[in-house]
Structure 1
Amino acid sequence: MLLREDLINEEIREMKREVSLRRADELKQEISDYLDIESTIETGMRLHERNLHNKEHILKYFEVSENDWDNWAWQMRNRINDGNVLASILGLNEFEVQTIKRVSKKVRWAISPYYLSLIDFENYAASPIYKQSVPSLHEIIECKGEDDPMGEEMSSPAPRITRRYPDRLIINVTNQCAMYCRHCQRRRNFGETDNHAAHKDLEAALQYIKNNSEIRDVLITGGDALMLSDRTLDWLLGELDAISHVEIKRIGTRTPVTLPQRITANLCAVLKRHTPIYINTQFNSPLEVTPEAKQACDRLIEAGVVLGNQAVLLKGINDNVHVMKKLNQELLKIRVRPYYLFQAKEVKGTTHFISPVNTGLDIMKHLRGYTSGLAIPTYVINAPGGYGKTPVNPEYVLDINENEVIISTWQGKTFNYPHRNN
């Protein structure tokens, strides 16, 4: 009798195993298209040797050493903002040089030598790095968009403050960046020179925060907040620490992406004194996830900083589900959590970067279930006029009634789930 029960149990186990194997094969087939092309997706890690070769070329042009390259102040002093210089390094043609000169008369540009080294020198015009950093004619011939679609200038109750939510706000501390992203939502602030906030304006911003006890979360941004000196950052963070109702500080910076040399031991020592600090950066392409970026992120994490990523959906750069999946997976490997995927804003001069919302929804649909939940950001549209971030996601709840919730899974299978009101 026992022997017969053992045989029946073994048959049941075999049956379950066969079902499980079929299910596993089905799941593998779900990502077969990604597996087929994954090895062809270019990343900063895979192209490290090429980037090192580019670096040597740039060092030779400037006639400097490796020590200079590793110095963030040298990188800032030698940002490329002249079309002729870029032509000497990349081999641009005359039309491209004249285009840069024409656009830069209206909107300035600059690119750090480090970020320049990530461009494919042999096919620069198609490079996602080039497209994000070098001016194009689209910027001055487009008629669509607004200078300030977010209405930031209409939501500034005190100097340098932007407030769009009940319990948190922004302090805009500078217009300076290591590289001026061509898709930037604040390109109206680029100006012609780098300008940090005046001390009296920062004092006024701090006083506003002190006077409004509901503010528990302060984001320091710009420009790029880490363009401030270590001393100024230490002072500002210390002032925020002294405000009892401020629970967390956030810093908006792209330096881990465009200028990882900025993440120095001294900066990390400053940040470590003022935890909890959350840093959101902006990796938009797998090409930006490099060994240098990883080292910068490692240093920040060791200083107690929590890292997140706010990518922007950009046409011709990352508007592809496989590229976006690879980007987010690469970020997790360097301990940066994908946080937001922004729909590009309707900023004048940048609308050539805007992808249809349906593209973003399709990307989200093919992330959920197809990769780790940790690798899935929240897709958001910033409501016009400064009315805040609005999540936009594929529809998974099809209906809710008194008895049940009808859901659609990531595979499109429909299920009825009990809806209990008791």
Structure 2
Amino acid sequence: MTIPPSDRTMTAIEELIAAGLVESGAAAALTEVAARYSVAVPASVARLISHPDDPIGRQFLPRAAELLLLPEENGDPIGDGAHEAVRGLIHRYPDRALLKITSVCPVYCRFCFRRASVGAGTEGVLDDAALDGAFAYLADHKEIWEVIVTGGDPLAVSPRRLAQVSRRLAALPHVKILRVHSRVPVLAPERVTPALTEALKSSGKTVYVAVHANHPRELTERARAACARLADAGIALVSQSVLLRGVNDDVDVLSALMRAFVETRIKPYYLHHGDLAPGTSHFRLSLAEGQALVRELLGRLSGLCQPIYVVDIPGGHGKAPVGPVYVSRQAQGWSVVDWRGIRHDYVDSLGQSREPQP
């Protein structure tokens, strides 16, 4: 492969062909893919790709399979639009709201659930008028305890813009938690600068960064150092990953990923079932396959390493845990399955110690 200098991001199919990342014979189909969904592969990410079909290449290189659209897929698979209170602000759950401050990312994942609304041709950073509307809504809704800043990738914006958002959150005393979802610490770790860290902390809130990675090879020395800079600054780190065929649909890979998170001071949080985004069926597993993988994690990994396996219910109805079920009601008590798959009887008798009912 011929990878361009480290400051270059490849956005054209011709550049990917020249770098040896995609086959020239697929140019026509991939050009059609690029016309539908944004492509961006920084040279630093390209260097992690050993061949186009490896776990890193599958995540970021366009494929002709993206042209296959299934009837159940749609451009808004988790129902952002149904819960957009004002432009850029989604209020799906009572105590938290999602603020989309940008629609751009430093690198575009081929399985992105917002792939129809991010990247080239979008408005980029949320403008001041929209931010004013979003913060007016947040100020009026005192039940909102947590604001989740997302995009696009919110850490792709300038520290100055991020600090503006943080300072405006500081003026909302009922908001206690700022959570930021980002690929940047892993895939563009050079952006995690003291200015960015200070911008996050200027909110005065308890700050969490949800770090998105799907394969242990993404957690390079540079990525771990960037995460350490955040953690050392007092910012809590949690993980989010997507279960992807050909990337992490293997218990050994998932185990290595979850352990790598914990070693990097990132608490495993969400393992997402693949959303019904357009052109992503080649990535998705069945729920049964996902449950089987998560069941295998239980016996081999520390409790610190266990993620919550969730599916976003289409239509904007929110996340639901879909991990394997370990207990079932019996005629007398319960049946409980241990990590080896062996069933045991369990009786949850409350005894006779409680006061008698009148």
Normalised-by-shorter TM-score class: over 0.9
Shift in Å at residue 225 of structure 1?
A: 0.6
Q: Is the 8 A contact 2:270 2:307 kept in 1?
A: yes
Find the counterpart in structure 1 of residue 147 from structure 2.
218
The letter of the residue matching 1:131 is: R
- Aligned equivalent of 1:188, options 104, 116, 119: 116
Q: Is the 8 A contact 1:400 1:406 kept in 2?
A: yes
Find the counterpart in structure 2 of residue 46 from structure 1.
none
Shift in Å at residue 220 of structure 1?
A: 0.4
SS in 2 for 1:284: coil
The letter of the residue matching 2:88 is: R
Relative to its length, the structure with more helix (as a share) is: 1
The letter of the residue matching 2:145 is: R
- 1:238 maps onto 2:178 in alignment: no
Task: Figure out how many residues of one structure are paired with residues of the other and give that number.
Answer: 348
- 1:356 maps onto 2:286 in alignment: yes
Q: Is the 8 A contact 2:166 2:201 kept in 1?
A: no
Q: Is the 8 A contact 1:100 1:134 kept in 2?
A: no
- 1:129 maps onto 2:56 in alignment: yes
The letter of the residue matching 2:90 is: T
- Aligned equivalent of 2:69, options 129, 142, 162: 142
Q: Is the 8 A contact 1:284 1:318 kept in 2?
A: yes
| Alpha-carbon distance in structure 2 between the residues aligned to 1:211 and 1:273 | 22
- 1:228 maps onto 2:157 in alignment: yes
Shift in Å at residue 412 of structure 1?
A: 2.2
Structure 1 residues 153 and 258, CA, compared in 2 at 3 Å: closer, same or farther?
Answer: same
The letter of the residue matching 2:82 is: M
| Alpha-carbon distance in structure 1 between the residues aligned to 2:68 and 2:290 | 26
- 1:203 maps onto 2:110 in alignment: no
Shift in Å at residue 92 of structure 1?
A: 4.0
| Alpha-carbon distance in structure 1 between the residues aligned to 2:271 and 2:16 | 31
| Alpha-carbon distance in structure 1 between the residues aligned to 2:196 and 2:270 | 26
Find the counterpart in structure 2 of residue 272 from structure 1.
201
TM-score, normalisation: structure 2: 0.92
Q: Is the 8 A contact 2:250 2:293 kept in 1?
A: yes
The letter of the residue matching 1:417 is: Y
| Alpha-carbon distance in structure 2 between the residues aligned to 1:115 and 1:400 | 52
SS in 1 for 2:237: strand
Structure 1 residues 208 and 347, CA, compared in 2 at 3 Å: closer, same or farther?
Answer: same
Residue range with higher mean Cα deviation, 160-169 or 93-102:
93-102
| Alpha-carbon distance in structure 2 between the residues aligned to 1:100 and 1:135 | 6
CA deviations over 1:252-302 (Å, ceiling 9, x no partner) = 111112211111122112223334110112110111011011011001111
The runs of at least 4 aligned residues of structure 1 exceeding 4 Å deviation read none
- 1:90 maps onto 2:17 in alignment: no
Shift in Å at residue 119 of structure 1?
A: 0.4
Q: Is the 8 A contact 1:321 1:362 kept in 2?
A: no
Shift in Å at residue 393 of structure 1?
A: 1.7
| Alpha-carbon distance in structure 1 between the residues aligned to 2:97 and 2:26 | 40
TM-score, normalisation: structure 1: 0.79
The letter of the residue matching 1:337 is: K
- 1:174 maps onto 2:120 in alignment: no
Q: Is the 8 A contact 1:83 1:98 kept in 2?
A: no
How do 1:9-408 residues align onto structure 2 when only pairs under 5 Å count? Answer: 58=3, 61-62=4-5, 69=6, 75=7, 78-90=8-20, 92-120=22-50, 124-144=51-71, 145-193=73-121, 195-274=124-203, 275-399=205-329, 404-408=333-337
CA deviations over 1:381-421 (Å, ceiling 9, x no partner) = 111111111001212112166x6333121112333333134
The letter of the residue matching 1:155 is: H
Relative to its length, the structure with more strand (as a share) is: 2
Shift in Å at residue 212 of structure 1?
A: 0.5
| Alpha-carbon distance in structure 1 between the residues aligned to 2:283 and 2:19 | 26
The letter of the residue matching 1:129 is: I
Q: Is the 8 A contact 2:186 2:224 kept in 1?
A: no
Q: Please provide the CA RMSD for this pair.
A: 1.7
| Alpha-carbon distance in structure 2 between the residues aligned to 1:156 and 1:197 | 14
The letter of the residue matching 2:161 is: T
The letter of the residue matching 1:183 is: F
| Alpha-carbon distance in structure 2 between the residues aligned to 1:416 and 1:91 | 55
In the alignment, structure 2 segments of 5+ residues that lack a partner are none
SS in 1 for 2:238: strand
| Alpha-carbon distance in structure 1 between the residues aligned to 2:158 and 2:256 | 34
| Alpha-carbon distance in structure 2 between the residues aligned to 1:266 and 1:198 | 22
- 1:410 maps onto 2:328 in alignment: no
Q: Is the 8 A contact 2:104 2:119 kept in 1?
A: no
Shift in Å at residue 251 of structure 1?
A: 0.4
The letter of the residue matching 2:66 is: E
Structure 1 residues 413 and 91, CA, compared in 2 at 3 Å: closer, same or farther?
Answer: closer
